[in-house]
Amino acid sequence: MEHIDAVVIGAGVVGLACARALSQRGIETLILERHDAFGTETSARNSEVIHAGLYYPAGSLKAQLCVEGNRLLYAFCATHGVSHRRCGKLIVATTTAQQLRLDALLAQAQANGVHTVRQLSADAARALEPELECTAALLSESTGIIDSHGLMLALLGDAERNGAVLALQSPLQSGRIESDGIVLETGGEGAMRLKTRIVINAAGLSAQRVAATLTGFPVAHVPPTHYAKGNYYALAGRAPFSHLVYPLPEPGGLGVHLTLDLGGQARFGPDVEWIDAIDYRVDPARADAFYAEVRRYWPGLQDGALHPAYAGIRPKITAPGEAAADFLIQGPAEHGVKGLVNLFGIESPGLTSCLALSEQVASLLQASSR
C-alpha cells in the first residue's frame, strides 16, 4: 500500500484548483480522475462565463466566493496567459413591469460588493447593442468569458510544477476511514491502494456516490442528488452582439441567455430539464421553445437559425421547486472525519469561484489539523 499526503478526487476545474492550492503548500498531492482526460463533465459543459456575483444571497458562499473568485481569476488569466475577454454583460428588462426586479437585482449586486454594475436606459442599452429590445438594463462590466480548457491546463501545470500528479482512468472503487487516515482503492489498468491523511471529494456529479463509497462515513451527511440538464444551441453565423445578454433570472436558473465564445460564436441556453441519469444528448426539437424566449430581447433572431451545440448537467442538492442551495463545503467540523472535505452542489458559479473556493478548502484543512 502506498502512502501519500493528499488525494483529490475529480479533475474538474475545482479539483485542479484544490490540487494546486495543496501542492503550493508543500503537500504531496495525487489527483484521481476516472475519465481519460481532465475536465470532461461540468467544467467543460457550461457557458464559460466569468460571473461577477450579482445573483446570490448576500453572505452566501456563492456570493462571497464568486466575487473574490472573479478578482482572482482575472489576475490568474493575466499571469498565466489564459485566453479570456472582459466583454461585459447586459441583464435586460423587456417589460416595464420588470423594472422593480431589475432594481432589486442591482441592490443585490451592491449588497454582494459588486460595484461594477450600473443601470442603463433602453436608449443607452441600444447604443451599446443596436439589435437589442428592452425597456431598461443593467450593465455588468466585470462579467467576461474564458477558455475553460486553457484555465484547467494552467491550473494543472501549476499543480504539477509543485509536485502534484494526475492519475487518469483511475476511478475510485472503495474507501475506508481509519483512525489514522483514509484508505482508497482505485480501479483501471493502474489500480492502486493508497493511504492518505487528506481527501478532497471534488467529484462533481459523482460527489455523493464517492462519499457513500467511504466505509465509516456517516451517511446522514450525504445530501440528495438531483441532476439539472441544460441544453445549448448555437447560432448559424455570427450574432450582432459584443456583450453577453441575459434576461432577468427565473426559478431554477438564469433564463435563456446569449453568450459568446472567444471566437465570437453565439450560443443560447441553457433551459432546465430535470433528469434521473446522466445523458448529454441534445434534442433538436427543444430549440423550438428558445425562439420565443430569445426574441423578447432580440426580435431579429431568424427562424431555423439555432442548431444543437451541447448539453451540461449541474449537480444540484435541492429538488425541483425547492429554493436553490448554496455551495456545500463539508469538512471535519460537520461530519467528524479528520482530513476529509466533501464538495457538494458545486455548480455555477463554480468555475468563476474555483480559486477562491480552493483557498477556502485549503484553509479549512489547515485549521482542522491544529
Q: How far apart are CA 203 and CA 206, in angstroms?
A: 5
Q: Say if 62 falls within a structural domain.
A: no
Q: What is the mean pLDDT of residues 332-358?
A: 97
Q: Judge whether residue 370 has pLDDT over 70.
A: no
What type of residue sits at position 98? Answer: Q
363 and 233 part of one domain: no
Interval 35-73: pLDDT, tens? 999 999 999 999 999 999 999 999 999 999 999 999 999
155 and 111 part of one domain: no
User: pTM value?
Assistant: 0.96
Interval 75-88: pLDDT, tens? 999 999 999 999 99
**Average pLDDT of the residues of the chain:** 95
Confidence of residue 250 (pLDDT cuts 50, 70, 90): confident
130 and 167 part of one domain: no
Provide the domain count of the chain: 2
What type of residue sits at position 331? Answer: G
Q: Say if 76 falls within a structural domain.
A: no
Higher pLDDT residue, 323 or 184?
184
Q: Judge whether residue 251 has pLDDT over 70.
A: no
What is the structure's pLDDT at 188?
87
Q: Say if 185 falls within a structural domain.
A: yes
- 207, 223 Cβ separation under 8 angstroms: no
Which residue range forms the structural domain that includes residue 172?
2-45+149-224+324-368
Percent residues over pLDDT 70 in the chain:
99
Q: Say if 15 falls within a structural domain.
A: yes
Sign of CA dihedral 99, 103, 108, 112: positive
154 and 199 part of one domain: yes
Q: Say if 196 falls within a structural domain.
A: yes
Interval 121-171: pLDDT, tens? 999 999 999 999 999 999 999 999 999 999 999 999 999 999 999 999 999
Q: Which residues, in sequence order, are CB contacts of 197 under 8 Å at separation 6+?
A: 5, 6, 180, 181, 182, 338, 339
133 and 164 part of one domain: no
What type of residue sits at position 174? Answer: S
240 and 303 part of one domain: yes
